[in-house]
Amino acid sequence: MELTAGSKAPAFKAADQNNNTISLSDYSGQKVALFFYPEDDTPTCTIEACNLRDNYALLKKHGIVVIGVSPDEVDKHKKFEQKFDLPFTMLADPKHTMLNKYGVWGEKNLYGNKFMGVKRTTFLINEDGTIAHIIKGVRSKNHAQQILDAWKIKNQD
C-alpha cells in the first residue's frame, strides 16, 4: 500500500551514526522531516545534506526534527557527519527495511540504465505520527525551504 498524506507513518528502529538505536516513537509529539537519500558523500546527496545543515537552526526553531536515511552503514554515516559537520541524525538501513516500508526503494532509470536504488523522498510527519506531506520532487539546493513551504511555515527570523 502506497503511503499518502494522512497515512500513519510506519514505525521503525534503526542505528544512527553513533550506533544508537533510534525509533520513530522517540519523536512522538514532534514534527519530523524524514529524508531518504541514495548515498553518503555523493554530489547531490551532499548538496541536500549541507542545505539542511545550513538551515538546521531555522528548522529547529520551528520545531522540526531532521532525520536522514540511506542504505549506507553506520561507519559511513559517521564519516559523512564528521566531514561535513552535519548536526542531524542519520539512520543506517543497509537491509532496506525502512526504505521498503516507506516505498522509496525501487527501480530507477538513469540515461536508459535501469537499476535498483533509493528514490529521493522526504516524509513530513506530524506530531501525532501521521504523514503531513510527501516531497518527491526534492530540490537538493533548496530542500529546507521545500520543507518549510510544505508545512506552510514563513521563513522569518
What is the structure's pLDDT at 110? 81
Name the DSSP letter for residue 64. E
Cell triple for residue 140?
537538493
Contact present, 80 and 50 (Cβ < 8 Å): no
Candidate list 45, 59, 99, 132, residue with the active-site label: 45
The Cα–Cα gap between 145 and 68 comes to: 16
Q: Would you list the domain boundaries of the chain? A: 13-20+28-150
pLDDT in tens, the chain (157 residues): 689 999 999 999 999 999 999 999 999 999 999 999 999 999 999 999 999 999 999 999 999 999 999 999 999 999 999 999 999 999 999 999 999 999 999 998 888 899 899 999 999 999 999 999 999 989 999 999 999 999 987 655 4
Name which CATH class applies to 13-20+28-150: alpha beta
Contact present, 16 and 93 (Cβ < 8 Å): no
Cell triple for residue 34?
524524514
Residue 45 appears among annotated catalytic residues: yes
